[in-house]
Amino acid sequence: MKSPQEQKDIRDLSLEELRAELERMGERPFRASQIFDWLYKKRAAKFEDFTSLSKDLREKLASRFRIGALELADKRESSDGTTKFLFRLRDGEHIETVLIAARKRLTVCLSTQVGCKFACAFCASGLHGFKRNLAPSEITGQVLYLQHSLGLEPTNFVFMGMGEPLDNWANVEKALRIMNAPEGLGIAARRLTVSTAGFVDSFKRLAALDLQVNLSLSLHAVTDRLRDRLMPINRRFPLEEVVRAAEEYVHSGGRMITLEYIVIRGLNDSLDDADGLAAIARRLRAKVNLIAYSPVEGREFETPTEADVARFKRWLEERKVNTILRLSKGSDIAAACGQLAGRFKE
Ligand code: SF4
């Protein structure tokens, strides 16, 4: 029997990996679907509860694996219906998950890394550097906590929390497959959205994925000069290179992307910015999500007024760009990505 430290979380295995593991254990591979059913549908927390399996198999599983669960360290509820969860991981690190209720949707914003390497100037996640990638079980565990412990049924799942999902692609891809699999969480691919800060590879990876998940590109600036300053990843993947890769993705596979744009007062909200953003959106046939910048401790950008954002939105619409204004939610509970985990460390 492996010690608890050596035991792998069974939820780190995809269905295919679990089938292969069962074969190695001398068991019938079809049991993997039954095990997934107990883990993700019936949400059993102990192998001994897997009553459709033989006692012998339950004991074998318990000797090799553990069933991990995230531990809630803090929870903050905003007056606008946004809830932020801070989870403590087995190694003592912390991650955040945000639940946003709006327009008949219950959207979960999932973290994919502890911290982030990319240090975007408007984001709290990059402030404390990068610690490690999340395992698949730590990604799906955020959803399972909401479903299992709170009885909630989120409708949409966006990979836009702490971390750059494409920088932890192997684990994010596995989590996506487990979330989508009918034997797993059974979430339709169209309800899953992966965001990227502009990894050129991300478009190829998403195009090669046999799941029609949504892709969202965090743009936030339309010149290399400003994007270099706001998003250092732009020095590695300059704007035109990213837009060209996105264009190829859209035109070759007939897929859609969404552009995310945080409006920062006096920095990226001029008429020229609207012109540049509209030109990129038209090239990519993309809709634009505008988000008003929320103040982040340690960052010195200005929050736009409602009128500033409305004017920028109108400029885009006059340029025939489908634009949605996303409300900045949860500013009273530090809901901007990485803020709560950052505070917890201090
Ligand atoms: S915006 Fe995304 S990529 Fe940039 S620092 Fe924050 S988590 Fe990292």
Ligand 1, residue 218: give the atom nearest the CA.
1
Task: Give the Å distance between the CA of 161 and the centre of ligand 1.
Answer: 8
Active site residue 337: yes
CA of 115 to the centre of ligand 1 (A): 9
123 catalytic residue (yes or no) = no
First to last CA, the chain: 39
The one catalytic residue among 27, 96, 138, 173: 96
Determine the pLDDT at residue 341.
Answer: 52
Spatial contact of 153 and 43, defined as CB atoms under 8 Å apart: no
**Using a 6 Å cutoff on CB, does residue 161 contact ligand 1?**
no
Closest residue (by CA) to atom 4 of ligand 1?
Answer: 120
pLDDT at 346: 31
In whole angstroms, give the CA distance from residue 84 to residue 34: 33
Long-range contacts at 231-239 (CB < 8 A, ≥ 24 apart):
231/118, 231/120, 231/121, 231/197, 231/198, 232/118, 232/119, 232/120, 233/118, 233/120, 233/164, 233/197, 233/198, 233/199, 234/198, 237/198, 237/199, 237/200, 239/198
Decide if 227 contacts 262 (C-beta within 8 A): no
**Active-site annotation holder among 109, 116, 120, 337:** 337
Domain ranges of the chain: 8-66, 71-345
User: Domain 71-345 is in which class?
Assistant: alpha beta
Query: Rounded to whole angstroms, how far apart are CA atoms 166 and 53?
Result: 37
Distance of alpha carbon 104 from alpha carbon 113, whole angstroms: 29
Q: How far is the CA of 2 from the centre of ligand 1 (A)?
A: 37
The CA distance from 55 to 59, in Å, is 6
Ligand 1 atom having least distance to the Cα of 124:
6
Q: Quick one: which atom of ligand 1 is closest to the CA of 160?
A: 2
Question: What are the φ and ψ backbone dihedral angles of 15, each rounded to 5 degrees?
Answer: -60, -40
Evaluate whether 138 touches 89 at the Cβ level (below 8 Å): yes
Q: Pick the residue whose CA is nearest to atom 7 on ligand 1.
A: 163
Ligand 1 centroid to Cα of residue 117, in Å, is: 8
CA of 44 to the centre of ligand 1 (A): 34
The pLDDT assigned to 343 comes to 45
pLDDT tens, per residue, the chain with 346 residues: 666 667 899 999 999 999 999 999 999 999 999 999 999 999 899 999 999 999 999 999 999 999 999 999 999 988 877 899 999 999 999 999 999 988 788 999 999 999 999 989 988 877 778 999 999 999 999 999 999 888 899 999 999 999 999 999 999 999 999 999 999 999 999 999 999 999 898 888 888 888 989 999 999 999 999 999 999 999 999 999 999 999 999 988 778 899 999 999 999 999 999 999 999 999 999 999 999 998 877 778 999 999 999 999 999 999 999 999 986 655 555 555 555 454 444 3
- Contact between residue 225 and residue 271 where contact means Cβ atoms under 8 Å apart: no
Whole-prediction pTM = 0.91
Same fold, 8-66 and 71-345: no
Helix residue ranges per DSSP H, 123-168: 136-144
CATH of domain 8-66: 1.10.150.530
